[in-house]
């Protein structure tokens, strides 16, 4: 990749800095970011100090942190060489993913593998898993007909599931996308909301619309919805249907009852893929009503063609404070 690492001619135990040389000064500017903000992010998160010396970067710190930060810088420079941008999220992902080194693209037109990393191609932007758990989740969604993503809010369970669905749809692997959620939050209040049934339930479906609009142009989303090639509907609307050649996502599945979950799972038709996402800590069902997600997890463990992926606060990709909030609540639950 044209990057060389130089170290002062002293004993390894005495070395306190690693020098990285980057031949393309234009790419080096992009690597550093405006006002060196990319370098500042790496310094802050990895506990090192980075100095720029011409077309070289000096990484200063203890050996372990220094080597990890150098590997992250190499990986990000390789992204730029491949014509891909470097954002704050990309830096976060490179750090979390163990600084994967980009390699030769392979594995099809719509999904690309870069060494140990994965990229999903949607119409609006490429999507990359930013933690090892997210990467394993995406791989399982391609490998299995039924996948479960279980963990706290902000870990990308639904977002990545919809991204995989859009990727498969664009690639012709499925003919339609079906997105659903239980409208448990509405309960009996649903009838008091203004408008027809669609207008009543749309507020509860909004996170699914938001994800779609991140991957497809708004006009295309609207057209596909009108053509019923994309459906967004409450779980209750799935009864009696067989969903064939479709990518199906059930979000907030912890709020499905056992009977609703069984009903939904048995909608799976020929040529379809199904993803169930949920957070076991946020069940809104009435007291005493068991969660269908927990029952499905217990009953379907070990069934061929079914995968389970679990997320923790370490996989939260929202504001870093969100991860700390989740960890604090987890500690409180443990002590209770």
Query: What is the full per-residue pLDDT of the chain (336 aa) written as tens digits?
Result: 455 555 444 444 445 788 899 888 888 999 998 888 888 888 888 888 888 888 889 888 888 888 888 888 988 888 888 888 888 877 877 777 654 444 433 333 344 433 345 678 777 777 888 888 898 999 999 989 999 999 998 888 999 999 999 999 988 889 999 999 887 654 444 455 555 556 666 777 888 888 898 899 989 999 999 999 999 888 888 888 889 999 999 999 999 999 999 999 999 999 999 999 999 888 888 888 999 999 999 999 989 999 999 998 888 876 667 767 877 877 777 776
Question: Which token pair is 28?
Answer: 């080096």
Domain-embedded: residue 228: yes
- Do 22 and 160 share a structural domain? no
User: In the prediction, which pLDDT does 93 show?
Assistant: 74
The C-alpha atoms of residue 58 and residue 51 are separated, in whole angstroms, by 5
Residues forming beta bridges with residue 119, ordered by sequence position = 112
The C-alpha atoms of residue 183 and residue 65 are separated, in whole angstroms, by 47
Report residue 148: phi and psi, to 5°.
-115, 135
Domain-embedded: residue 32: yes
- What pTM, to 2 d.p., does this model score? 0.66
Counting the structural domains of the chain, the total is 2
- Do 153 and 20 share a structural domain? no
User: In the prediction, which pLDDT does 206 show?
Assistant: 83
- Do 270 and 127 share a structural domain? yes
Domain-embedded: residue 104: no
Helix (H) or strand (E) holding 119: strand 117-121
The C-alpha atoms of residue 333 and residue 310 are separated, in whole angstroms, by 18
- Do 71 and 214 share a structural domain? no
The C-alpha atoms of residue 23 and residue 51 are separated, in whole angstroms, by 16
- Do 116 and 92 share a structural domain? no
User: In the prediction, which pLDDT does 299 show?
Assistant: 94
User: In the prediction, which pLDDT does 330 show?
Assistant: 74
Domain-embedded: residue 212: yes
The C-alpha atoms of residue 73 and residue 79 are separated, in whole angstroms, by 10
The C-alpha atoms of residue 162 and residue 178 are separated, in whole angstroms, by 10
- Do 177 and 61 share a structural domain? no
- Do 71 and 132 share a structural domain? no
- Do 172 and 263 share a structural domain? yes
Domain-embedded: residue 102: no
- Do 234 and 165 share a structural domain? yes
HSE-CB at 37 with a 13 A cutoff on CA atoms is 8
- Do 302 and 160 share a structural domain? yes
Angle at 136 between CA 313 and CA 129, to 5 degrees: 70
Q: Let me know if 201 is exposed, middle or buried by CB neighbors in 10 A (0-12, 13-18, 19+).
A: buried
- Do 200 and 59 share a structural domain? no
User: In the prediction, which pLDDT does 308 show?
Assistant: 95
- Do 125 and 91 share a structural domain? no
Domain-embedded: residue 52: yes
Angle of helix 157-170 versus helix 132-143 axis, rounded to 10: 40
| CATH value at residue 11 | 3.30.1370.10
Question: Which token pair is 258?
Answer: 């056992």
The C-alpha atoms of residue 142 and residue 282 are separated, in whole angstroms, by 27
Report residue 147: phi and psi, to 5°.
-130, 145
User: In the prediction, which pLDDT does 109 show?
Assistant: 38
- Of 45, 68, 96, the position where a domain reaches its end is 96
Domain-embedded: residue 106: no
DSSP-assigned states of every residue in 66-111: HHHHHHHHHHHHHHHHTT----HHHHHHHHHTT-PPP----S-SSE
What residue numbers bound the domain in which 215 lies?
111-335
């Amino acid at each position: 990749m044209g990057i060389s690492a130089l170290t002062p001619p002293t004993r390894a135990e005495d070395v306190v800095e690693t020098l990285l040389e980057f031949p393309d000064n234009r790419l080096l500017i992009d690597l550093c970011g405006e006002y060196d903000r990319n370098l500042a992010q790496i310094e802050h998160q990895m506990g090192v100090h980075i100095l720029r010396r011409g077309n070289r970067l000096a990484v200063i710190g203890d050996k372990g942190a220094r080597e990890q930060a150098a590997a992250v810088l190499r990986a990000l420079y390789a992204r730029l060489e491949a014509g891909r941008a470097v954002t704050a999220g990309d830096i976060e992902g490179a750090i979390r993913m163990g600084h994967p080194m980009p390699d030769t693209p392979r594995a099809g037109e719509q999904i690309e593998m870069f060494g140990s990393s994965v990229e999903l191609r949607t119409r609006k932007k490429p999507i990359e898993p930013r933690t090892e758990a997210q990467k394993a989740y995406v791989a399982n969604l391609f490998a299995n007909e039924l996948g479960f993503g279980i963990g706290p809010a902000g870990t990308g369970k639904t977002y990545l599931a919809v991204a995989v669905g859009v990727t498969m749809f664009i690639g012709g692997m499925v003919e339609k996308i079906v997105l659903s959620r239980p409208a448990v939050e509405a309960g009996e209040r649903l009838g008091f909301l203004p408008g027809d049934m669609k207008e009543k339930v749309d507020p509860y479906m909004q996170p699914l619309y938001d994800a779609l609009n991140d991957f497809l142009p708004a006009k295309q989303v609207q057209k596909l919805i009108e053509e019923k090639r994309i459906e967004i509907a409450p779980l209750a609307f799935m009864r009696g249907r067989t969903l064939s050649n479709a990518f199906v996502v059930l979000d907030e599945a912890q709020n499905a009852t056992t009977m609703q979950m069984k009903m939904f799972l048995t909608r799976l038709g020929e040529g379809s893929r199904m993803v169930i996402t949920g957070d076991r800590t946020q069940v809104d069902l009435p007291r005493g009503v068991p969660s269908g997600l927990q029952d499905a997890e217990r009953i379907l463990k070990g069934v061929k063609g079914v995968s389970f992926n679990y997320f923790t606060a370490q996989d939260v990709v929202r504001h870093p404070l969100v991860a700390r909030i989740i960890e604090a609540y987890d500690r409180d639950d443990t002590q209770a």
